[in-house]
């Protein structure tokens, strides 16, 4: 997937089962679901939404979007 509209703003989508709903501690780090790295927020959001909807029956399962571009260029 290539973004031809300008600068790449990389986003990581991943998820896993939480130990409880009050924290972001995962039950088993070896079972994290790395969905992928996306060139923009819109693509990442679409992937996040699809995974979140697919796992709606498991209340402990959570997916996240990480703004990798902010980590790679924190001054921007």
Look over the chain and give the mean of its residue pLDDT values, rounded to a whole number. 91
**Stretch 12-25: mean pLDDT, rounded?**
95
Distances (CA, A) of 73 to 24, 48, 68: 25, 23, 9
**Stretch 18-36: mean pLDDT, rounded?**
95
Domains and CATH numbers, the chain: 1-14+41-76 (3.30.70.2400)
Looking at residue 5, its pLDDT comes to: 57
Q: Residue 14: pLDDT above 80?
A: yes
The tokens describing 55, both together, are 């796992």
Q: Residue 30: pLDDT above 90?
A: yes
């Amino acid at each position: 997937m290539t973004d031809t509209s300008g600068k790449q703003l990389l986003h990581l989508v991943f998820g896993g089962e939480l130990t409880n709903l009050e924290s972001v501690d995962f039950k088993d780090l070896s079972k994290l679901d790395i969905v992928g790295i996306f060139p923009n927020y819109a693509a990442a959001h679409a992937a996040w939404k699809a995974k979140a909807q697919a796992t709606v029956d498991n209340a402990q399962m959570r997916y996240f979007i990480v703004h990798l571009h902010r980590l790679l260029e924190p001054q921007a």
